[in-house]
Chain A
Amino acid sequence: MTNQPHQLEIRNLHASVGDQPILKGINLTVPRGELHAVMGPNGNGKSTLAKVIVGDPEYTVTEGEVLVDGVNILEMEPDERARLGVFLAFQYPVEIPGVTIANFLRLAMQARKAEGEEVSFTEFYGKLQSALKTLEWDESIVERYLNEGFSGGEKKRNEILQMLMLDPNYIIMDETDSGLDVDALKIVARGVNSMRGPNLGGLIITHYQRLLDYIVPDKVHIIVDGRVVQSGGPELAKKLDTEGYDWVKQLAVAGA
Chain B
Amino acid sequence: MTINPEVSEINTSYEYGWSNPERYAVKAPKGLSREVVEMISKAKDEPQWMLDFRLKALDIFYSKPMPTWGADLSGLDLDEIYYYIKPEGMNARSWDDVPDDVKKTFERLGIPEAERAALAGVGAQYESEMVYHNLKEEWEKLGVVFLSIEDGLRQYPDLFREHFATIIPPEDNKFAAINSAVWSGGSFVYVPKGVKVDIPLQTYFRINAESSGQFERTLIIVDEGAQAHYIEGCTAPAYNSDSFHSGVIEIVVKEGARFRYSTIQNWSHNVYNLVTQRAAVYGNGVMEWVDGNLGSKVTMKYPACYLLEEGARGEVLSIAMAGRGQHQDAGAKIVHFAPYTSGTIVSKSISKDSGRSSYRGLVKIYEGARGSKTNVECDALLLDEEARTDTYPYIEIEEKDASVGHEATVSKINDEQILYLQSRGLSEDEAAGLIVRGFIEPIAKELPLEYAVELNRLIELEMEGSVG
Residues of A within 8 A of B (CB): 51, 54-58, 77-79, 81-83, 87-88, 90, 93-94, 96-99, 104, 107-108, 111-112, 145-146, 162, 166
Contacts and interface: CB of A to CB of B under 8 A. Distances in A.
Given A54-B419, A107-B430, A111-B430, A99 B414 contact: no
A90 B421 CA distance: 12
A79 B417 contact: no
A94 B438 CA distance: 14
B24 interface: no
A78 to B, nearest CB: 4
Interface SS of chain B: helix, strand, loop or mixed?
Answer: helix
B424 A99 contact: no
B305 to A, nearest CB: 25
B420 A107 contact: no
A80 B149 CA distance: 56
Most buried by B among A79, A83, A94: A79
A43 B417 CA distance: 23
Interface in B419-433: 419-428, 430-431
Contact of A57 (B415, B426, B437, B442): B415
A94 B425 contact: no
Interface residues of B, number: 24
Given A58-B415, A99-B434, A78 B440 contact: no
A193 B385 CA distance: 45
B439 A54 contact: no
B140 interface: no
Contacts of B438: 96-99, 145-146
A26 to B, nearest CB: 19
A117 B216 CA distance: 46
Interface string B396-436: 00000000000000000011110111111111101100110
A88 B423 contact: yes
19 contacts: A51-B419, A54-B419, A55-B419, A55-B422, A77-B422, A79-B427, A81-B423, A82-B424, A83-B425, A94-B414, A94-B420, A96-B434, A97-B439, A99-B435, A108-B425, A111-B425, A111-B427, A112-B425, A145-B438
Contacts of B428: 77, 79
Contacts of A79: 422-428, 431
A102 B419 CA distance: 19
Contacts of A81: 423
A122 B414 CA distance: 34
A248 to B, nearest CB: 29
B441 interface: yes
A79 B420 CA distance: 10
A55 B423 contact: yes
